A and B are shown apart, each in its own frame.
Chain A
Amino acid sequence: SQTIHQWPATLVQPVGSPLSLECTVEGTSNPNLYWYRQAAGRGLQLLFYSIGIDQISSEVPQNLSASRPQDRQFILSSKKLLLSDSGFYLCAWSVWGDGLAGNISSYNEQFFGPGTRLTVL
């Protein structure tokens, strides 16, 4: 069966410090991978998605970046955190598909990781 892991579960970082959140998936190959953020009192926002190694698409311009060095590993990073980066970060995977517009997998159900709660002070 497939499982998705995220770490750390919680993180408190000072403004201006770097960030690295990791997500790994087990039990599947060549998944689509996604990073979401949920700010306090707001809905989910898609940040990045990836349909393959080193293939990253950004949905929202910001000071965050994502990388996919291996098929089942997705990393969210920042060189310098802002207060506004605080939130709940979720990684998700879906079965591979190139979707309606040839980019996002529009058709496949997504499975979410446990999330990382980030507080920037």
Chain B
Amino acid sequence: KNEVEQSPQNLTAQEGEFITINCSYSVGISALHWLQQHPGGGIVSLFMLSSGKKKHGRLIATINIQEKHSSLHITASHPRDSAVYICAVTGNQFYFGTGTSLTVIP
């Protein structure tokens, strides 16, 4: 069993839809990260959070420490949001989810 589980693995949405990607983890953590990997492979860090909620533009990330669960929301999705979204947690070491592949269709 992976320490970090993401769902869904693949997601296709119409432009403008509200999108949610979920992440559950089983280890004690000090922080949770959401990363975005573009088709060419480059990775961008979207959020790092240890409690509550963060918002950046159309992206919102929440975390519930008690439930060991985080969600990444994308409002008014756009084709340029198409990417793989990776959840990672840090505690004594780094653990990565295998990613959610998102495709937003115009």
Contacts and interface: CB of A to CB of B under 8 A. Distances in A.
B76 interface: no
A107 B42 contact: no
* Chain A binding surface, main DSSP class: loop
B98 A46 contact: no
A29 interface: no
Nearest to A114: B42
B66 interface: no
Contacts of B94: 46, 104
A6 B93 CA distance: 24
Interface string B42-82: 11110010000000000000000000000000000000000
Interface residues of A, number: 24
A114 B30 contact: no
B86 to A, nearest CB: 7
A110 B42 CA distance: 13
Contacts of A90: 41, 43
Interface in B11-62: 30-31, 33, 35, 40-45, 48
Interface of A: 38, 42-46, 59, 88, 90, 92, 99-101, 104, 106-112, 114-115, 117
